[in-house]
Structure 1
Amino acid sequence: MSAPSQRPAARGPAALAATVLIALLTACAAPESGKATLAADAPLPATVPAGTKLIIGDPPTKVALQLSGEIDTFSFDVEWANLSGGPQTSEAFRADALDVGAVAEIPPIHANWTGLPVKIVASRFRKDPLTHPTYELGIAPGVNVRTLADLRGKKIAYSPGQAQGALVLKVLKHAGLTKNDVTLVELPSTGDVYPSALASRQVDVAPIGGVNIKRYTARFGRDGATTIAHGLRDDPGHLYVRTATLRDPAKAAAIREYVAAWARAARWVYEHPKEWIEGYYVKDQGLTAADGQYLVELAGEPDIPADWSQAIARHQETIDILATETGNPPLKAQDLYDLRYQAVGAEAIGGGAR
């Protein structure tokens, strides 16, 4: 007796509907409606496809590119977002309203700690950073602080999650002190909050940067206000993006092109100080030419290395200090960097800053 033939089971309306539903859900789950996804270890694409767009939050570079004449030369569309700093950038990332942000070293750390995976794609520093610090320690009128050892027992302005806050922790460690040896007063390091807090004796010490250094001593020096050097590197500047953005081959390629332009803009600023002072500090920021000249001299020459190993080692020291003080889990600094972009900036300026 022959065996019965094997026939496919009949598929009724319910089974067919379930199959269609699964197919629809699978299609929806595919990244970017079926677009190709770039693996994290895949080479960066060499060309940017037509129709690609980046939303970039990097106001100073926008002005530099306008002044240098390079702003209209991108092979992709750019929408400039007028925002900066870690909190604004992270908020825009989470809202899917930004592709590239410009910050110092702390925001990428805190982004990953708060469930927002990001990668650094460009890094810039300052040559001779101890001579050209980003911040100095402002000392309130009448407070006797001449060395870092004198910080013991003082009220120090502290901004968790920002570069100034991390700097305070580093300074304390460098001085052989802990948080228990001082009083940390939480204040946002925005605008002139820190100079005002110093002048009113709300705090004894605060890290102040940029033109605030000059203005603070000019305004309150007659009352005894001073600043002292902290003696540490505080010069990192990064471009960073969401890890998810780098899975898009078109955007990954466009980011590479932007990193190159960002590096050229930094060199242009250094090599054209008069145009930068007038076009950015005076016309865009509303500062005086004297303030602009002070800031140009304070910044010194940019250093855009082709090898990030030393930068990553310094970043790891920062992570370790913050993890210990905040209770957050340790991170590997190298995991914050996309090494495919490591040499892009240096190569864009002829490898002249290494």
Structure 2
Amino acid sequence: MISPIHIRILASVTTGACATIAIMLMCASPANAQSGHAPIADTVPAGTTLTIGDPKTQRALELSGEVKNLPFTPRWVNISGGPRTTEAFRANALDIGAVADIPPIHATWTGLPVQIIAAAFRKAPLEHPIYKLGIAPGANIESIADLKDRKIAFSPGQAQGALVLRILQSAGLTKDDVTLVEMPSTGDVYVSALASKLVDAAPIAEANQPRYLANYGSSGARVISHGLRDDAWHLYTLQAVLDDPAKAAAARAYVKAWAKATRWIYEHPKEWVEGYYVQDQGLKTSDGEYLAQSAGEPDIPADWTDVIARQQATIDLLATETGNQRLDAAKLFDRRFEKVAIQALNEQ
């Protein structure tokens, strides 16, 4: 049934462009509506493109063959991590990025209007965390309770930085109780800082942990668990992308594809290890198998209430520790996308 607002829009159509917008609104699913926002169309207009920085999903879509079913033209860019993604957004060189929970917060604090359009976690995050605290040789840190007065690697605009603050909070400490050494967390920077004893502790990703221990374990290097959830993963985009009806429809289609790719990775571990970790990332098969097993089953929530509450807790901690203004976490999420991913999985 066409609503009165759609009738008024159709009555005012005078150009081909307006007609396209009107048809898109008529095709939109009512479930996509969010208070204060127009519905998002189910149909993507021909010729629509999206520039996407999500290498992992890109590879999964290629391996599964689903990339050919995207109803828009993807322009893939090899961009990952919060700082590079934000930089690309500012240069209008990117439409969608895949990051952890901190980059959208940091982007908003720097005046960049962004929105989160998808969220995923691990079903067993505490048993298989993404990060552990790497401990420098000779640092004599047995648990997070021993971090007082130590030097810790810190990247304020990335997930690792927020994790450090959460770890300190869990240990009853603040940033004033330690020395935070700012440095980017990309590549092997943290591992090198630990090995050279530039810092005493640094959160290092699971992909780097076996190599760190193999190379420096004999000198006393080790890793310790922090006992916190660190598994948030989001898709986010510029508000300007969502203000464009065609690109918003394409973004909705990409969220659906992302959800299916995330599930495919879990259900096809052999193909994923060989096609991504070995061929694409250059890892040994055994290392790829370790990472695939560690990742476990993905959890894509159909309700973002808890996701937003967790994000709010993170914002409050960061605001207190960094002096930034408190944000309303709910305003970072475009809830028109809330059920898109899970509905795509249910349709399979």
Whether TM-score is above 0.5 comes out as: yes
- Secondary structure of residue in 1 paired with 2:44: coil
Q: Could you tell me which runs of 5 or more consecutive residues in structure 2 were left unpaired when the two chains were aligned.
A: 1-16, 26-33
1:171 aligns with 2:175: no
Please list the CA deviations of residues 139-160 of structure 1 after superposition, one character each: whole Å capped at 9, or x if unmatched: 1111211121111121111111
Alignment of 1:209 onto 2:197: no
Structure showing greater Rg: 1
For 1:269 and 1:76, how far apart are their aligned partners in 2? 22
* 1:319 is the counterpart of 2:306: no
Cα distance change on mapping 1:340 and 1:141 into 2, 3 Å:
same
* Amino acid in structure 2 at the alignment position of 1:74: L
| Paired AA for residue 226 in structure 1 | R
> Among residues 115, 121, 131, which one is paired with 1:119 in the alignment?
115
* Structure 1 residue 274 corresponds to structure 2 residue 270: yes
CA distance in 2, matches of 1:34, 1:138: 58
- Distance in 2, matches of 1:284 and 1:338, equals 32
Q: In the alignment, is the contact (CA less than 8 A) between 2:61 and 2:67 conserved in 1? A: yes
Give CA-to-partner distance per residue, 1:69-114, whole Å, 9 cap, x none: 1011111111111111111111221222211111111110111111
Q: TM-score, normalised by structure 1?
A: 0.87
* Distance of 1:250 and 1:127 partners within structure 2: 34
Shift of 1:36: 5.1
Q: Which runs of 5+ in 1 are unaligned?
A: 1-31
Provide the rounded CA distance (Å) in 2 between the counterparts of 1:273 and 1:246. Answer: 34
**Aligned residue among 45, 66, 70 for 1:70:** 66
The C-alpha deviation readout for 1:182-205, integer Å capped at 9, x for no partner, is 111112111111111111111111
The 4+ residue runs of structure 1 with deviation greater than 6 A are 32-35
Matched residues in 1 for 2:347 and 2:171: separation?
A: 37
Partner of 1:192: 188
The equivalent of 2:28 in structure 1 is none
Contact 1:50 1:76 in 2 (8 A): yes
Task: Give the letter for the 2:320 counterpart.
Answer: T
Question: For 1:157-212, what per-residue CA distance to the aligned partner results, in whole angstroms no more than 9, with x for missing partners?
Answer: 11111111111011001100111211111121111111111111111111000211
Post-superposition CA distance 1:285-316 (Å, at most 9, x none): 11111110111122111100100111111111
Name the structure 1 match of 2:50: 54
Q: In structure 1, what is the Cα distance between the partners aligned to 2:253 and 2:207?
A: 32
After superposition, the C-alpha distances for 1:12-70 in whole angstroms (9 at most, x for unaligned) are xxxxxxxxxxxxxxxxxxxx999859895222112111111111111111100000010
1:154 and 2:150 equivalent? yes
Normalising by the residue count of structure 2, what TM-score does the alignment of the two structures yield? 0.89
1:347 to 330, 337, 343: 343
Decide whether the 8 Å contact of 1:306 with 1:351 is kept in 2: no
Which moved further from structure 2: 267-276 or 40-49? Answer: 40-49
Match of 1:298 among 280, 294, 297: 294
Identity of matched residues, %: 63
Decide which moves more: 155-164 or 40-49. 40-49
Task: Give the number of equivalent residue pairs.
Answer: 321
> Is the 1:217–1:225 Cα contact (8 Å) retained in structure 2?
yes
Change (3 A) 1:248 1:281: same
* Cα RMSD (Å): 1.8
